[in-house]
């Protein structure tokens, strides 16, 4: 069984990332719309606010998140909930 | 014949009998037989003892059975723990690779949640 290959970009090209602004001194979150940028090892421990189309969701980068993209941690759809309607059947 | 797992298909051809081990498929079975110079039509019950021990040592070196299931469960558990989208889909028991959910998601609804643990 092959492990799940998430990355589709060829290795020789290097990871795709967007030059993000330098970390603010007080450790507050940085707002970003670059969902496709790879999380680099230098980002570990920083807080980002990732756009999901409407709001900005907080993401605290941990060491295990390194080779994923920022957008994976900001879901774009509301989870489906089944609501029973109270209409009486005639 | 009892192998490392619980492989007991004696009457079958060796390369096919090996596929009953979780983690060994058609190609790996054929490759193992070629490596040990086992005749392609040889049945498992007709294998000499030294070939059986050689097979066991080869199989011990690969990740199969519970080791493999643990590896898969760990990979998925990592996705759940870091909060990635794929992890959320596994927790909800829905397709994790972009399949539609309005109709059809039978395999995912049946299997995706149980991939988190080894006993499935």
The alpha carbon of residue B31 and the mean position of all alpha carbons in its chain are separated, in whole angstroms, by 16
Identify the structural domains of chain A with CATH numbers, from first to last. Answer: 11-73 (3.30.860.10)
Separation in Å, CA B105 to CA A17, A29, A51, B93, B112: 34, 37, 29, 9, 10
Does B56 share its domain with B71? no
- Do residues B71 and B110 share a domain? yes
pLDDT digits (tens, 9 = 90+) for A56-76: 999 898 888 888 888 889 989
| Cβ-contact B112, B93 below 8 angstroms | yes
Instruction: Residue B101: give the domain boundaries.
Output: 66-119
Residue of chain B minimizing CA distance to A68: B84
Asked whether residue B113 falls in the same domain as residue B97, the answer is yes
Same domain, B23 and B71: no
- A-facing residues of B in 7-36 (CB < 8 A) are 23
Q: How many domains does chain B have?
A: 2
Shared domain for B80 and B31, answered yes or no, is no
Judgement on whether residues B22 and B54 belong to the same structural domain of the protein? yes
Give one DSSP letter per residue of B18-51, joined into a string: GGGSTT--HHHHHHHHHHTT--TT-BGGG--HHH
**C-alpha span between A24 and A30 (Å, rounded):** 8
> pLDDT digits over B4-40, tens only?
767 777 888 988 888 888 888 999 999 999 999 999 9
Which helix (H) or strand (E) covers residue B80, if one does? helix B65-82
Facing residue for B85 by CB, picked from A64, A72, A80: A72
B77 and B46 in a common domain: no
Is the ipTM here above 0.85?
Answer: no
């Amino acid at each position: 069984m092959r492990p799940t290959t998430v990355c589709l970009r060829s290795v020789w090209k290097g990871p795709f990332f967007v030059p993000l602004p330098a970390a603010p001194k007080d450790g507050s979150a940085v707002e970003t719309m670059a969902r496709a940028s790879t999380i680099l090892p230098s980002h570990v421990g920083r807080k980002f606010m990732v756009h999901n189309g409407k709001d900005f969701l907080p993401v605290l980068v941990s060491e295990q998140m390194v080779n994923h993209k920022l957008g994976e941690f900001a879901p774009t759809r509301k989870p489906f909930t089944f609501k029973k309607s109270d209409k009486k059947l005639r | 014949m009892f192998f490392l797992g619980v492989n007991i298909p004696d009457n079958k051809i060796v390369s096919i009998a090996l596929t009953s081990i979780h983690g060994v498929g058609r190609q790996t079975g054929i490759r193992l037989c070629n490596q040990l110079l086992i005749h392609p039509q040889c049945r498992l019950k007709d294998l000499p003892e030294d070939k059986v021990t050689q097979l066991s040592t080869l199989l011990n070196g690969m990740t199969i059975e519970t080791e493999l299931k643990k590896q898969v469960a760990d990979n998925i558990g990592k996705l759940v723990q870091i909060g990635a989208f794929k992890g959320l889909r596994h927790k909800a028991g829905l397709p994790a690779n972009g399949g539609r959910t309005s109709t059809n998601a039978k395999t995912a609804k049946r299997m995706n949640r149980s991939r988190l643990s080894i006993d499935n």
